[in-house]
């Protein structure tokens, strides 16, 4: 199955720059909030403010709109801060990076600060990068209208209408760089001082230099350092030399990139000019419709001075045009240039390849070259049979996926013409359409791997810790393939399979015939469980945590109970079994559960002490539930009156029958007073024995008989009233034999007073 080439929708195979950084800074030219960069509402309205107020490794999210250097002068530019991740393409409402749409929410960095449409008063460069020693990424912008114009010897080193990069590490990703100009070098990018530049999934077009004899690199000029380009398109760029790129850098690496419609206006190198000391490696790329005024319609190399090694692997060169009758499509530097698994066919040149020396020629293996190559190995001159090529005479022209198709048909001489051992499949194992390079057991020649004879079955598992899958691989046509999975994560369950993001089957395993490329994906869903949290009794506390939870072995959820007044927390139970004894705890969820926070009611003790002791009796002491209403009662004896209830030294009531709510332990005193005018002086001698005793005791009152004998405990509670006979002066009692051990008070009442004795019961 063939795919149309489209930029900004997935050609990049580089590891995507992490968007999980220290902080996110927001920039939106239309923000109306506090403008402190903390949210879309409060975003900075000036991009430079976002730069200034960010820190190393921060992400800067920029909403759609047109941003120009704030000083508004031709000498102004956006100076990138070190080690930042700068992202355009937002609508200004996104909460997740994945919601970004670069093409829909176009974000422009524009150098047109003067009269709109007049280039001579534009900024000399749009973006400057100076000594950025931590990799800085700019991603998702349209960068345009830079105008670097300096005449004289200084003009040679003052190019870069879009970017001027000096001694820096810069990644340019998902960007469109267009309509930039430099008088001499690097219409879009000028770089020197050993900078390291990565260009990923970008579109460079309409960039140019002047016609000065030193003019180089319509889009990019590199004097040193490293230039790596992935999944991009360079078209309609022009310069005197190197219509798209001119480089002297030690490292030039290009993979899965299209060069089309670029033009060397007065010299050589329609797409690329390779100068001294440059080591170039170009893989899986398409050179089509480029034009050179003299020679090297696709690539020109300064063969006299360049002694480095060069590898051109699995590229297609076609419909390129050299105006000179002696021109060549690709220049090379003798046997240091290795051309492998390439197609060079259908160009308007004297010959596909040129070598400076006719004695030592480039190393050519497993290629399709128009006219053949006598000193090559496994080289064929047969037509590669492109599906829908353009017309060479129309060059320069831009590749258009709706008009052109440079993949090969089923009769092509390029099918299985390559040698898999001649390429680095680990790093460059995909063709221009992201198909595996090897299908049917052998690699094809050219930038496109044919779908014939074998098909690829791929299985994409988003998280390999969830399941193992089987069935992926390359298969011969109509081979039977079984697709299956084995679940590894108990927290997940299988839903269905998709094929190219469309529901395919709900069967856990199935078989297909390999009659096309398949892209399957098992869809798993995380188990969710209901947790019901209760309080026992319901009124005892506020308990939280009920809900429907996703199962995850590494995720612990919090459950909490907060007791109300008068209740004591006991424990948590699950299905009646104790689980935890803390008010709050964390737990993973692996099933439906009912969780109960258990409580007991708080009880408080009430004690009553008569004062003075003989003054009376009381009732109402004991243990009572918190917040319950109780009544204590004080009853004075003869000769006394009740005065008050005291808690400590504080009078809290003067009612003998006192009703209140119990909210704490209470030690009450029942205060009694003697009645004024009544003498209550002990005038009698009473003996008590045995003391201590076991509840049986004898009282002798002499020759006077008491009127009443009352026994009370230490709390002032009456426990016995001893019956008396008339004129009884000796009293034998066993009323305490059933009482608890402890101190008791025996009060004898006489007509003229009373006497109280202490008795220790040892029962």
- Among 674, 699, 718, where does a domain finish? 674
Q: Does a structural domain hold residue 644?
A: yes
φ/ψ of residue 490, rounded to 5: -65, -15
Q: Write out pLDDT tens, residues 114-131.
A: 999 899 999 999 999 999
Supply the pTM of this predicted model: 0.61
Query: Are residues 612 and 597 part of one domain?
Result: no
Structure confidence at residue 10 as a pLDDT band (50, 70, 90): very low
Same domain for 497 and 615?
Answer: no
CATH no. for residue 288? Answer: 2.160.20
Mean pLDDT of 448-454: 78
- Name the residue range of residue 504's domain: 455-526
Residue 545 CA, distance from chain mean position: 25
219 within a domain of the structure (yes/no): yes
pLDDT band at 637 (very low <50, low <70, confident <90, very high): confident
Q: Which pLDDT value is given to residue 318?
A: 97
> Is residue 445 predicted with pLDDT exceeding 90?
yes
> What whole-number distance in Å separates Cα of residue 192 and Cα of residue 222?
6
In a domain, 53, yes or no: no
Specify whether 735 is located in the same domain as 747: yes
Mean pLDDT of 378-385: 89
Residues 670 and 740 in one domain: no
Average pLDDT over residues 589-597: 90
- Min mean pLDDT across 99-108, 185-194, 510-519 is at 510-519
Do the domain assignments include residue 177?
Answer: yes
| Composition of the chain by helix, strand, coil, percent to 5 | 5, 45, 50
510-513 β-sheet, strand order:
467-470, 480-487, 510-513
Pair (419, 512) in one structural domain: no
Q: Is the pLDDT of residue 101 over 80?
A: yes
| 447 part of a folded domain | no
Has residue 13 been placed in a domain? no
Residue 453 confidence (pLDDT) above 90: no
Average pLDDT over residues 214-234: 96
pLDDT for the residue 6: 47
Which residue, of 551, 566, 601, is where some domain finishes? Answer: 601
Q: C-alpha distances in angstroms, 636 versus 155, 643, 675, 756? A: 117, 9, 10, 15
Look up tokens 């176009």; give the residue.
Answer: 106
SS3 labels along 24-84: EEEECCCCCCCCCCCCCCCCECCHHHHHHCCCCCCEEEEECEEECCCCCCCCCCEECCCCC
**Are residue 219 and residue 297 in the same domain, yes or no?**
yes
Check whether residue 379 and residue 276 sit in a common domain: yes
pLDDT score recorded for residue 290:
97
So what's the pLDDT on residue 374?
A: 85
Structure-model confidence comparison of residues 107 and 638, the more confident one: 107
Same domain? 519 vs 533 = no
Averaged pLDDT score across all residues of the chain: 88
Sign of the torsion formed by the C-alpha atoms of 193, 194, 199 and 205: positive
Average pLDDT over residues 305-311: 76
Average pLDDT over residues 601-607: 92
How far CA 316 is from CA of 167, 284, 341, 386, in Å, comes to 34, 8, 9, 10
> Which has the minimum average pLDDT: 270-274, 352-356, 484-488?
352-356
Q: Is residue 48 part of a domain?
A: no
CATH number for position 731: 2.60.40.3080
Residues 498 and 507: their CA atoms lie apart, in Å, by 11
Reduce the DSSP state of residue 394 to 3 states and report it: helix
Mean pLDDT along residues 657-678: 85
* pLDDT (average), residues 574-597: 89
> Does residue 551 surpass a pLDDT of 90?
no
Give the residue among 502, 494, 493, 495 at the shortest CA–CA distance from 520. 502
Asked if residue 508 and residue 586 are part of one domain, the reply reads no
Number of domains in the chain: 5
Average pLDDT over residues 393-400: 96
Largest interatomic CA distance in the chain: 160
Q: Where are the beta strands (DSSP E) in 418-501?
A: 438-439, 442-443, 454-459, 467-470, 473-476, 480-487, 492-499
Instruction: Fill in the DSSP letter of residue 436.
Output: B
- Residue 98's pLDDT is 95
Tell me: pLDDT of 2 over 80: no
- Judged by average pLDDT, the poorest of 183-187, 397-401, 648-652 is 648-652
Percent of the chain with pLDDT over 90: 60
DSSP code at position 128: E
Residue 25 β-bridge partners: 60
pLDDT tens digits for range 230-266: 999 999 999 999 999 999 988 999 999 999 999 999 8
Q: How confident is the model at residue 734 (pLDDT cuts 50, 70, 90)?
A: confident
Q: What is the pLDDT of residues 478-518, one digit of tens each?
A: 778 999 999 988 888 999 999 988 999 999 999 999 888 79
pLDDT of residue 683: 55
Of the residues 378, 407, 426, which one is the last residue of a structural domain? 426
Smallest CA-to-CA distance from 431 within 517, 333, 496 is with 517
Residue 165: the pLDDT is 97
477, part of any domain? yes
Exposed, middle or buried, 411 (CB in 10 Å: 0-12/13-18/19+)?
exposed
pLDDT of 681 over the 80 cut:
no
What percentage of the chain reaches a pLDDT higher than 70?
93
- Same domain, yes or no, for 277 and 370? yes
Statement to judge: residues 229 and 162 lie in one domain: yes
Instruction: Assess whether 410 and 313 both reside in one domain.
Output: yes
Q: Predicted confidence band at 440 (pLDDT cuts at 50, 70, 90)?
A: low
């Amino acid at each position: 199955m063939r795919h149309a080439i489209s930029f900004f929708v997935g050609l990049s195979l580089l590891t995507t720059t992490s968007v999980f950084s220290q902080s996110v800074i927001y920039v939106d030219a239309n923000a109306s909030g506090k403008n402190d960069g903390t949210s879309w509402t409060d975003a900075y309205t000036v991009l430079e403010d976002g730069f200034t107020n960010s820190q190393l490794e921060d992400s800067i999210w920029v909403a759609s709109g047109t941003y120009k250097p704030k000083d508004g002068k031709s000498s102004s530019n956006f100076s990138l801060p070190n080690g930042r991740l700068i992202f355009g393409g937002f609508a200004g409402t996104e909460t997740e990076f994945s919601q970004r749409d670069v093409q829909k929410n176009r974000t422009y960095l524009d150098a047109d600060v003067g009269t709109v449409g007049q280039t001579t008063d534009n900024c000399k460069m749009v973006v400057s990068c100076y000594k950025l020693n931590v990799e800085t990424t700019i991603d998702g912008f349209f960068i345009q209208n830079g105008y670097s114009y300096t005449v004289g010897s200084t003009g040679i080193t003052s190019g870069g209408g879009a970017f001027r990069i000096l001694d820096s590490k810069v990644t340019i990703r998902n960007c469109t760089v267009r309509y930039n100009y430099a008088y001499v070098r690097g219409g879009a990018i000028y770089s020197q001082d050993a900078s390291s530049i990565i260009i990923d999934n970008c579109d460079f077009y309409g960039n140019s230099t002047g016609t000065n004899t030193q003019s180089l690199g319509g889009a990019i000029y590199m004097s040193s350092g490293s230039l790596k380009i992935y999944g991009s398109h360079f078209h309609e760029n022009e310069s005197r030399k190197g219509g798209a790129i001119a480089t002297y850098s030690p490292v030039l690496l290009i993979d899965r990139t299209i060069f089309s419609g670029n033009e060397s206006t007065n010299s050589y190198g329609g797409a690329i000019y390779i100068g001294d000391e440059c080591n170039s490696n170009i893989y899986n790329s398409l050179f089509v419709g480029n034009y050179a005024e003299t020679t090297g319609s696709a690539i020109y190399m300064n063969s006299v001075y360049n002694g480095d090694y060069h590898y051109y692997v699995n590229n297609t060169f076609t419909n390129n045009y050299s105006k000179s009758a002696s021109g060549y499509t690709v220049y090379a530097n003798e046997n240091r240039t290795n051309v492998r698994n390439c197609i060079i066919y259908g160009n308007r040149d004297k010959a596909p390849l040129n070598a400076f020396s006719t004695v030592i020629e480039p190393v050519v293996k497993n290629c399709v070259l128009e006219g053949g190559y006598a000193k090559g190995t496994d080289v064929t001159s047969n037509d590669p049979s492109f599906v829908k090529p353009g017309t060479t005479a129309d060059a320069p022209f831009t590749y258009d996926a709706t008009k052109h198709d440079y993949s090969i048909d089923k009769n092509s001489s390029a099918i299985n013409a390559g040698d898999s051992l001649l390429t680095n499949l680990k790093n460059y194992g995909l063709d221009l359409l992201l198909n595996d390079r090897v299908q049917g057991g052998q690699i094809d020649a050219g930038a496109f791997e044919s779908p014939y004879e074998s098909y690829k079955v791929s299985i994409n598992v988003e998280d390999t810790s969830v399941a193992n899958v089987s069935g992926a691989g390359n298969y011969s046509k109509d081979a039977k393939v079984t697709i299956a999975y084995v679940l590894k994560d108990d927290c997940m369950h299988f839903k269905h399979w998709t094929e190219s993001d469309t529901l395919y089957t709900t069967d856990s395993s199935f078989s297909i015939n390999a009659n096309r490329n398949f892209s399957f994906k098992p869809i798993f869903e995380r188990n969710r469980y209901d947790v019901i949290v209760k309080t026992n009794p319901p009124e005892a506390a506020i308990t939280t945590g009920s809900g429907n939870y996703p199962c995850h072995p590494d995720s612990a959820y919090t459950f909490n109970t907060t007791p109300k007044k008068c209740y004591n927390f006991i424990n948590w139970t699950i299905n009646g079994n104790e689980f935890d004894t803390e008010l709050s705890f964390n737990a993973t969820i692996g099933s439906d559960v009912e969780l109960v926070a258990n409580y007991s009611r708080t009880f408080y003790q009430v004690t009553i002490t008569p004062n003075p002791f003989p003054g009376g009796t009381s009732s109402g002491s004991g243990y009572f539930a918190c917040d319950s209403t109780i009544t204590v009662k004080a009853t004075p004896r003869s000769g006394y009156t009740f005065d008050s209830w005291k808690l400590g030294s504080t009078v809290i009531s003067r009612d003998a029958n006192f009703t209140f709510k119990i909210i704490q332990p209470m030690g009450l005193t029942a205060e009694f007073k003697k009645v004024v005018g009544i003498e209550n002086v002990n005038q009698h001698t009473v003996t008590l024995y045995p003391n201590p005793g076991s509840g049986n005791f004898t009282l002798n009152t002499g020759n006077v008989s008491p009127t009443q004998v009352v026994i009370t405990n230490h709390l002032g509670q009456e426990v016995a009233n001893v019956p008396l006979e008339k004129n009884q002066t000796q009293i034998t009692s066993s009323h305490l034999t059933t009482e608890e051990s402890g101190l008791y008070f025996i009060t004898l009442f006489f007509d003229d007073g009373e006497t109280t004795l202490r008795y220790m019961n040892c029962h």
